[in-house]
Amino acid sequence: MWLKAQPTELQWFLDAATTYWEKHLPPQDHPETIVVEAFHQDIRVTLRNLVFANAIRRIRPAHLVVLTGVEEDWRRTLWSGFDVALVERISRAFGASDVIDVYDLLEQRRKDPNAGPTVAGRRLAVAAPLDEQTLTAYADATYCRLAKVPRLPADHATRPDYRRRRDLGAGLSALYETLFRTGTVAALVTSHVDYDQWGLSVESARRARVPVIHTQQTGCLKAYGLFPEHDSGTGTFRAELTRQIGQVFEERLWPRRDDLRSAAELIAWRAKVNLGRPSWWRGGVTAAVDLSNPAERDRLRGHVAARFGFDPAKPVIAVFNHAVSDALGTNKELFPSLADWFADTAAYAARRTDAQWLFLDHPSQALYDSTGFFASVAQEHRRHRHIAFHPSAKLSKNALWSLVDLGVTVRGSVSNELPAYGIPVIQAGHSEWSSCGISTVVEDADEYWRTLDESIVAAHRGELTVTEEQVRRARLWLWLYRSGSDLVTPLVPQWDVWPATHLLKSMGAAFRHIESDADPLYPAVERMWHNREPMLTRTDLAAPPAAPSFAAAPPGRATAVGPTATIGSPPSAAGTDPALPTGAR
């Protein structure tokens, strides 16, 4: 369900939120608006959007316009408990002037084509939708996600459900063009940038040169920003973000790697025992890595290799399947689809008997695939003894990290996690960190196959490893992702604060007792907004590091698990230098 809480607890929360925002926002008498989407079923997602939008409204007064609603395909596939009336109650408590049920408005337009949205008391004339190419791209991606298919059916263009999806996209686009072409929208705050109900609003905002804030579903408050001054307009939202994050990393973080080393080593240790996300899908005892030396890794490697019928003396390459219907085409990818990449890599592996291959499914495979894709690829290659297909959630990280010599993915988080512990990764596409020098990112299919060839040859020569610089970059990224760009504010509890009753109590207490002059949310958002930065950060990354006010104990070893390295113990005063990989096993 979208929100399960006692009515009295919900009302206390709404009353506290209403009072807080009435007292902590300046008069919103400016003609501008801030548009916030509330299409997600999880209250934590919507609350992050609303809190960030109100932080902007403190420095740029504007009416708050909330877009919500649930379409039948989304309700059937994911949002079974979506409650539009409850969204409106929460939005009003956060000071929303207008709450627009976009799907209800689309239904009105079927009866009256001139029916447009009303914003700040003004009825807007409906604009034309975006171009056919853009609409088709979003219809294709949304259709695949909702049908949970890795590729479009051959007859999709003639299918009634696809044509309906296409018509809905055109209607949504017309509405978004209507909102953003008024010239009065100061920002779009959204939890997603893919699929028609989110992505088309991002497209319209970018074309109208409206800043787009993309909040994240992890940590406390994480958000990325694409500002028109830095938007080249040559790639997707995610592609632009990849470029800008890489620039920040290279110009502001990497030169300060020595200053941040202690913090990065702590985060590397925390990630090793899975204290936080990513690796959000590996909970419980399978999530931690507790190997402490190369001998332990070798002993476990032999045991795990025997389970798969592998020779522990030969290289093992792990290929990580993706949520095959998820956000297709939203960043650079080398193959027509995630499914094509996975199937083609399996076909390549079948021919490369000089390596051993472990193909892992996505831990939430069933939520993204109704076709049995992973099982069908496994069945096709069942006769190959040097290839194994296995459910990822049934393989512990201890087993995985002891066995794998090379990881292969398109955009998975393993491409930043594995290099942090001495295991190299090849990426057949881009993720948000792909410009940070962590993994081997290839730029076309020919280079992908060539890099695989070269990596297998290198492994047999005993040279397959990451560089010391890549390990340090990966650990610095872990710090940035889990700490530097994760703002801790009492107004947004950690994502893990759940169920809903606990969440509402925590936020309600903050609204009643925390004063705005002590909340780090507001200066951080103001810094991001005025400096037009691509991410929200705890501190000013452009400023020189402050001198420490006390003598901090040096961190312990969060050392690499790769071929020649050990895995360290929790942070202590035992040492400061991680044992980085220097060669292959």
Q: For residue 281, what pLDDT band results from cuts at 50, 70 and 90? A: very low
Contacts of 459 (CB under 8 A, 6+ apart): 315, 355, 405, 406, 584
Q: For residue 271, what pLDDT band results from cuts at 50, 70 and 90? A: confident
pLDDT on residue 272: 77
Per the model's pLDDT, the better-predicted residue between 177 and 294 turns out to be: 177
φ, ψ at 195 (rounded to 5°): 70, 165
pLDDT on residue 315: 94
Largest CA distance in the chain: 73
Instruction: Return the beta strands (E) in 85-199 as ranges.
Output: 96-101, 118-119, 122-123, 185-190
pLDDT on residue 441: 96
Q: Can you tell me the mean pLDDT for 347-375?
A: 92
What percentage of the chain exceeds 70 in pLDDT? 89
In tens, the pLDDT along 523-562 reads 999 999 999 999 999 999 987 665 444 334 344 455 555 5
Is pLDDT of 279 > 60?
Answer: no
pLDDT on residue 277: 54
In tens, the pLDDT along 500-509 reads 889 999 999 9
Residue 368 sits at the vertex; the CA angle it makes with 155 and 494, to the nearest 5 degrees, is: 145
Per the model's pLDDT, the better-predicted residue between 363 and 468 turns out to be: 468
| 305-to-15, 385, 402, 426, 548 alpha-carbon distances in Å | 58, 12, 9, 22, 47
In tens, the pLDDT along 379-410 reads 999 999 999 999 988 888 888 889 999 999 99
Are 230 and 237 in contact by the 8 Å Cβ rule? The answer is: no
CATH of domain 258-481: 3.40.50.2000
pLDDT on residue 579: 39
In tens, the pLDDT along 11-35 reads 999 999 999 999 999 987 888 999 9
Q: Can you tell me the mean pLDDT for 338-346?
A: 96
Q: Can you tell me the mean pLDDT for 62-85?
A: 91
CA distance 152 to 407: 28
pLDDT on residue 545: 61
pLDDT on residue 392: 87
Is pLDDT of 285 > 70?
Answer: no
Is pLDDT of 157 > 60?
Answer: yes
Q: Can you tell me the mean pLDDT for 114-126?
A: 88
Burial of 358 (0-12, 13-18, 19+ CB in 10 A): buried
CB < 8 Å & 24+ apart, contacts of 536-544: 536/221, 536/222, 536/223, 536/224, 536/225, 536/485, 536/487, 537/484, 537/485, 537/487, 538/483, 538/484, 538/485, 538/486, 538/487, 538/488, 539/484, 541/248, 541/252, 541/253, 541/484, 542/252
Beta-bridge mates of residue 263: none
Q: Can you tell me the mean pLDDT for 333-351?
A: 95
Per the model's pLDDT, the better-predicted residue between 438 and 551 turns out to be: 438
pLDDT on residue 269: 86
pLDDT on residue 558: 55
φ, ψ at 115 (rounded to 5°): -70, 115
Q: For residue 3, what pLDDT band results from cuts at 50, 70 and 90? A: low
pLDDT on residue 464: 73
Give this prediction's pTM.
0.91
pLDDT on residue 565: 45
In tens, the pLDDT along 186-231 reads 999 999 999 999 999 999 999 999 999 999 998 999 999 999 999 9
pLDDT on residue 259: 94
Are 344 and 155 in contact by the 8 Å Cβ rule? The answer is: no
pLDDT on residue 578: 40
pLDDT on residue 287: 65
Give the lowest-confidence range in 83-92, 96-105, 134-143, 264-273. 264-273
pLDDT on residue 569: 36
pLDDT on residue 548: 45
pLDDT on residue 575: 34
Residue 244 sits at the vertex; the CA angle it makes with 240 and 250, to the nearest 5 degrees, is: 150
